[in-house]
Amino acid sequence: MTGPRPMEILIPASNEAGLIDSCLVALLAATPPESGAVGVTVIANGCHDATAARACAFRDAFAHKGWVLRVIELAQGSKIAALNIGEADLPPEAIRVYLDADVTVSPRLLIRLHAALDAAVPLYASGRPRITGQGGVARAYARLWARLPFMSHGVPGCGIFAVNPAGRARWGRFPDLISDDGFVRLHFAPQERIAVPEPYDWPVAEGLGALVRVRGRQDAGMRELARLHPELLAREDKPPLGARGAARLALRDPLGFAVYGAVALGVRMKPAPDGWSRGR
């Protein structure tokens, strides 16, 4: 196509009435890409709260910005179903941004993602996560998590990732998998993943029990990917932590290391949950 590509932002949201406002306010403050054509779709799935109503209240504000806000309500609580239904009517030439409802973007993240992905070759991109937590346990875990090789190297794409049309053509509908973000990221070789130097805030779960549930779910998601799509794992570029790396982390942040170790031990002691775990 000629000219800048439009951008479509998809936000699956399940019982996120307490967080969707912050997510949408951050988008309203974002610098638009040069194309100016931006659509935002909130897919409220399986909600028993006011997530959809709170999102609908932003329609006029987005219209004033020149963006289109759609709100879709699904009875089924499924992130994968939400993604597939949210994508159904999107223009194929659009750059697609997949955004968790608890994430807040910085003002220039969208324009930098658009610039990075406005190309004919398949590409994947994300920003620089600022991992946050409110309670003491969550803050300690977040500090340690941010220093792990997976987060400090490469393009993890936690909470937000984006692909261009050529990249989106690499798979069809989202399959019924736990790790939708891992599934997408591993459709791209390391050299096809772009780290945009703009931040976004990504919160971890609060409390030890919630961290164990979410971490167990993350681990189960990667095991599922390895079992069902072993060909994708060849594109993993996560460097190993190793004994020396673990020792350095323990010396640098003993409390964070202790909390992280407690979460890892808790995951080993209990089976992974059957459903998607949000932890709040």
Positive or negative torsion for Cα 93, 197, 19, 32: negative
- How far CA 74 is from CA of 93, 159, 235, in Å, comes to 26, 21, 34
Whether the CB-CB separation of 76 and 148 falls below 8 Å is answered with no
Distance CA(94)–CA(38), nearest Å, equals 9
Nearest Cα neighbor of 279 from 110, 76, 135 is: 135
Distance CA(110)–CA(189), nearest Å, equals 22
What are 14's two structure tokens?
A: 């399940």
> What is the pLDDT at residue 99?
98
Over residues 11-47, the pLDDT tens digits come to: 999 999 999 999 999 999 999 888 768 999 999 999 9
- How far CA 115 is from CA of 2, 30, 108, 110, 159, in Å, comes to 15, 14, 11, 9, 20
Its pTM stands at: 0.92
Q: Output the CATH code of domain 7-269.
A: 3.90.550.10
| DSSP label of 231 | G
> What is the pLDDT at residue 187?
96
Whether the CB-CB separation of 43 and 6 falls below 8 Å is answered with no
Find the helix packing angle between 242-252 and 254-269, rounded to 10°: 120
Tokens 């053509």 sit at which residue?
169
> What is the pLDDT at residue 197?
94
Q: Return the amino acid letter for 241.
A: L
Beta-sheet pairing, 38-45 with 68-74: parallel
Tokens 């399940």 sit at which residue?
14
**Which residues lie below 8 Å from residue 107, measured CB to CB, with a gap of 6+?**
29, 30, 31
> What is the pLDDT at residue 271?
62
> What is the pLDDT at residue 272?
54
Q: Per residue of the chain (280 residues), give pLDDT as tens.
A: 556 789 999 999 999 999 999 999 999 999 988 876 899 999 999 999 999 999 999 999 999 999 999 999 999 989 999 999 999 989 999 999 999 999 999 999 999 999 999 999 999 999 999 998 889 999 988 888 888 888 878 898 889 999 999 999 999 999 999 999 999 999 999 999 999 999 999 998 888 898 999 889 888 988 999 999 999 988 988 878 888 888 988 888 899 889 988 988 998 887 655 444 444 4
Q: Can you point out the beta strands (E) in the chain?
A: 7-13, 38-45, 68-74, 95-99, 104-105, 124-132, 160-163, 193-203
Q: How many residues does the chain have?
A: 280
Tokens 């993602």 sit at which residue?
113
Whether the CB-CB separation of 141 and 259 falls below 8 Å is answered with yes
Q: Tell me the domain boundaries of the chain.
A: 7-269
Distance CA(240)–CA(69), nearest Å, equals 42
